[in-house]
Amino acid sequence: MSKPASRLPSSLVLVGAGKMGGAMLEGWLAEGMPPQGIAVIEPRPSEEMARLCGERGVALNPKEPAAPEVLVLAIKPQMLDEAAKDLDALVGSGTLLVSILAGKTIGDLRKRLPTARAVVRAMPNLPASIGRGATGAAASSEVTEAQRLVADALLRSVGAVEWLPSESLIDAVTAVSGSGPAYVFHLVECLAEAGIAAGLPADLSQRLARATVAGAGELLFRSDLSAATLRQNVTSPGGTTAAGLQVLMADPGGLKALMRETVAAAKKRAEELAG
């Protein structure tokens, strides 16, 4: 028997078209998913979302978008109880539920949407909005290989996908790659402030910090070299980088310990959002 092929679904309902839902929708459309197969449920759509749906022919808040092949949940975890009241009616026995909600476990989702059997819990990140996301995903035992490939195609349309051997890893994934872009953006803020303290005009320092992190990220993306090797390539013996890194890499008190605490705090918060 031939293996099932990776493919986008023929019908999909997206619940929550905010930052992440909107980014995924754009990715699916860019991948060529037929807009008439997509319905969006979003009580207060942004003007941009309403325009996108109107222009592309995606149904926005249709009356009866029942039993799609895939239902994607992209609301805030805190909204789940409120939203779930109306959602189980949309789910068919063959519907694959894909959730990107931080913290909410497959068990939590099943409790709210008891008709859903096959569930994929995924954690993408904001660079999905430019097709450069990183997603970790785990599937419940009811998910067939064909359904897993459909979820893979949906998630891969906005970036790289890592299938996890166990759902138990997903809170750590959330803390590293889900929240990670915010740590990097904060690094830009800190580098710019440090530049101002070192005497640069504010706007120049901000431009330099932003371009530096963007360029370093692009280099990481394009290069086969490890982050450690790339770091060493910047660091001339006895030079300026070595002097700076001596502070940043101090043990104790350096970035390593701070990052460990940062990730631990984010993971703990993901665990608290369960239930």
Ligand X SMILES: NC(=O)C1=CN([C@@H]2O[C@H](COP(=O)(O)OP(=O)(O)OC[C@H]3O[C@@H](n4cnc5c(N)ncnc54)[C@H](OP(=O)(O)O)[C@@H]3O)[C@@H](O)[C@H]2O)C=CC1
Ligand Y SMILES: O=C(O)[C@@H]1CCC=N1
Pick out the residues of the known binding site for NADP(+).
Answer: 74-77
Q: Cα separations (Å) of 170 from 121, 145, 261, 269, 272?
A: 8, 20, 18, 12, 13
CB 74 within 8 A of CB 15: yes
When binding is defined by CB under 6 A, the residue of 26, 42, 152, 171 that contacts ligand X is 42
Q: Does 186 bind ligand X (CB under 6 A)?
A: no
Which helix or strand (DSSP H or E) is residue 28 part of? helix 19-30
For the bound state, the minimum distance from the C-beta of residue 77 to ligand X, rounded and expressed in Å, comes to 5
Contact string (CB under 6 A) for ligand Y, positions 163-182, x = contact: -----------x---xx---
For residue 168, what is the DSSP state? G
For the bound state, the minimum distance from the C-beta of residue 168 to ligand Y, rounded and expressed in Å, comes to 17
Between 101 and 113, name the residue whose CB sits nearer to ligand X: 101
Sheet harboring 159-163: ordered strands across? 59-60, 38-41, 12-15, 70-73, 96-99, 118-123, 133-139, 159-163
With CB under 5 to 8 Å by kind, the binding choice for 119 among ligand X, ligand Y, none is: none
Query: Three-class SS of residue 221?
Result: helix
Between 117 and 267, name the residue whose CB sits nearer to ligand Y: 267
CB 159 within 8 A of CB 128: yes
Site of interaction with ligand X (CB under 6 A): 15-21, 41-44, 74-77, 79, 82-83, 100-102, 123-126, 178
Site of interaction with ligand Y (CB under 6 A): 102, 174, 178-179
